Amino acid sequence: MTSAPPLAGLRVLELARILAGPWIGQLLADLGADVVKVEAPEGDDTRKWGPPFVEGTGDEHLSAAYFHSANRGKRSITADFRTEEGQALVHRLAAHADVVIENFKVGGLVKYGLDAASMRKAYPRLIYCSVTGFGQDGPYAPRAGYDFLVQGMGGPMSVTGEPQGAPMKAGYAVADIYTGLYATTGILAALRRRDTTGEGAVLDMALLDAQVAVLGNQAMNYLTSGKAPQRLGNAHPNIVPYDVFPVADGHIIIATGNDGQWRKLCEVVGDAGFASEPDYIDNRSRIANRVALTARLNALTSRFAKLDLLAKLEAVGVPAGPINTIEEVFADPQVEARGVRVDLKNPAAKAGSTPTVASPIVLDGIRQVASRPSPRLGEHADEILNDPAWGGPHNG
């Protein structure tokens, strides 16, 4: 007997678009929440952020792949917040929601009566989550927030890239996605507190806050030493060797975490004495002599074929791995075995399904992923308006 999803019965009203806000709604939908996405009449901007697009059975596509990356499991209805009818619809739905998610600029919803203060006054049990670039206060609060800008302002670009190269952003929207993850955690905490107090909450989630928070050890290195970390390419600031190394047919990652692994690595690459030399005998020494060590180790690893060296390192327990393309990721036997890719049945799609990347949460052996594909614009308007759980006509 399969148990109900952990968030079954939770009602979420999503007034968000682009990525950070929708990422929250998607994760809650994966965990079983009923997420109603309220879109402007023209739809979420990312519906048009293609190609590529998911092909439909007819001449029209089913929105850009970008949109589908953050909107599975939801139902869609449209409303124009600028009109009294649109505002009334949102209030009708909010009256039955547990959570509202929005990512408008600070103060952007006040004139419509859809801001946190107005909604919480009307619905005291509501968990209201606002996502902005810089938060609800501070000198930057009025600014619009974009992931790329926040990656620059929040520090990661200063430690990403080659030492002599330009600062480099991550190849995906880390500020948006991390903010979505932190916000989801905050929502679940607020819901847990509401179970005890009966009171809702307002969450003030900022991309910049989240980006700074995930600096992790790099932030602590600075706060402890007073020295700002610098770009090291693929190298690690606190462990050596922990880097990309050349092989005869490409590159691999070697990530030694202790002196024992370092000694085994030297044995595998044919220079066992390397590990015991005073300049390299422990991690502190290896960090001090990083440049010379890396050059010498590069010469040793470059004599091996990729698969041969990876097999030898795995056999002795030295952490190492390939640098996969996205295509290779989804062909990887471990990724396949774990069921990370899921094809959601979708009669409107030309292929009969929409591919998606499932949530990484596996609960009691069940991977948490919504069964519903991303919605077409306004697809569920009648269904939602007639749903008793959302104040439909049969709601007593």
Report pLDDT for 89.
Answer: 97
Supply the pTM of this predicted model: 0.94
Domain membership of residue 229 (yes or no) is no
- Among 325, 352, 376, the domain boundary falls at 325
- Among 297, 325, 353, the domain boundary falls at 325
pLDDT at 304 over 70: yes
Domain CATH for 295: 3.30.1540.10
C-alpha triplet 120, 122, 128: angle, nearest 5°? 25
CA nearest to 241, candidates 229, 228, 253: 253
51 upstream amide cis, omega within 30 of 0: yes
Please, which residues bridge with residue 130 across strands?
102, 204
Query: 391 with 97: CB under 8 angstroms?
Result: no
Please, which residues bridge with residue 12 across strands?
35, 99
Q: How far is residue 388's CA from residue 385's CA, in Å, rounded to a whole number?
A: 8
367 shares its domain with 318: no
Range of the domain at 319: 242-325
Query: 264 with 271: CB under 8 angstroms?
Result: no
Q: How far is residue 120's CA from residue 369's CA, in Å, rounded to a whole number?
A: 30
Confidence of residue 394 (pLDDT cuts 50, 70, 90): low
Domain membership of residue 227 (yes or no) is no
The mean per-residue pLDDT over the stretch 15-37 comes to: 98
Q: How far is residue 162's CA from residue 166's CA, in Å, rounded to a whole number?
A: 7
Domain membership of residue 59 (yes or no) is yes
283 shares its domain with 184: no
156 shares its domain with 294: no
317 shares its domain with 339: no
CA nearest to 215, candidates 244, 166, 174, 161: 174
Domain membership of residue 221 (yes or no) is no
Query: 381 with 372: CB under 8 angstroms?
Result: no
pLDDT at 86 over 80: yes
Domain membership of residue 4 (yes or no) is no
Number of domains, the chain:
2
314 shares its domain with 174: no
246 shares its domain with 202: no
52 upstream amide cis, omega within 30 of 0: yes
Domain CATH for 380: 3.40.50.10540
The mean per-residue pLDDT over the stretch 264-271 comes to: 98
Report pLDDT for 393.
Answer: 87
Q: What percent of the chain has pLDDT over 70?
A: 99
Domain membership of residue 224 (yes or no) is no
CB atoms within 10 A of CB 123: 18
301 shares its domain with 191: no
Confidence of residue 1 (pLDDT cuts 50, 70, 90): very low
338 shares its domain with 315: no
The model's pLDDT over 347-388, given as tens digits with 9 standing for 90+, comes to 999 999 999 999 999 999 999 999 999 999 999 999 999 999
pLDDT at 396 over 50: no
- The 8 Å CB, 24+ separation contacts for 62-65 are 62/346, 62/348, 62/349, 62/354, 62/374, 62/376, 63/374, 63/376, 63/377
Residues 6+ apart with CB under 8 A from 355: 341, 342, 343, 344
> 137-161: b or e for each residue (b if 16 or more CB lie within 10 Å)?
eeeebeeebebebbbbbbbbbbbbb
The model's pLDDT over 146-161, given as tens digits with 9 standing for 90+, comes to 999 999 999 999 999 9
The mean per-residue pLDDT over the stretch 285-289 comes to: 98
114 shares its domain with 246: no
Report pLDDT for 384.
Answer: 98
pLDDT at 188 over 60: yes
- Among 289, 305, 325, the domain boundary falls at 325
Residues 6+ apart with CB under 8 A from 72: 26, 29, 30, 344, 354, 356, 369, 370, 372, 373, 374
pLDDT at 82 over 80: yes
Report pLDDT for 329.
Answer: 97
42 shares its domain with 85: yes
Domain membership of residue 79 (yes or no) is yes
Phi, psi of 159 (to 5 degrees): -120, 15
Report pLDDT for 395.
Answer: 53
pLDDT at 129 over 70: yes
- The 8 Å CB, 24+ separation contacts for 320-324 are 320/252, 320/253, 320/254, 320/255, 321/252, 321/253, 321/255, 322/252, 322/253, 323/244, 323/250, 323/251, 323/252, 323/253
Report pLDDT for 2.
Answer: 62
CB atoms within 10 A of CB 337: 8
263 shares its domain with 286: yes
Which is it for strands 250-255 and 320-321: parallel, antiparallel or unpaired? antiparallel
Query: 359 with 30: CB under 8 angstroms?
Result: yes
Give the residue numbers annotated as catalytic, written as ranges.
Answer: 176
pLDDT at 19 over 70: yes
Concatenated DSSP letters of 44-75: -GGGGS-SSEEEBSSSSEEEEHHHHTS-TTEE
Confidence of residue 262 (pLDDT cuts 50, 70, 90): very high
What tokens were used for 4? 């109900």
Domain membership of residue 395 (yes or no) is no
Q: How far is residue 278's CA from residue 366's CA, in Å, rounded to a whole number?
A: 50
Report pLDDT for 239.
Answer: 96
303 shares its domain with 341: no
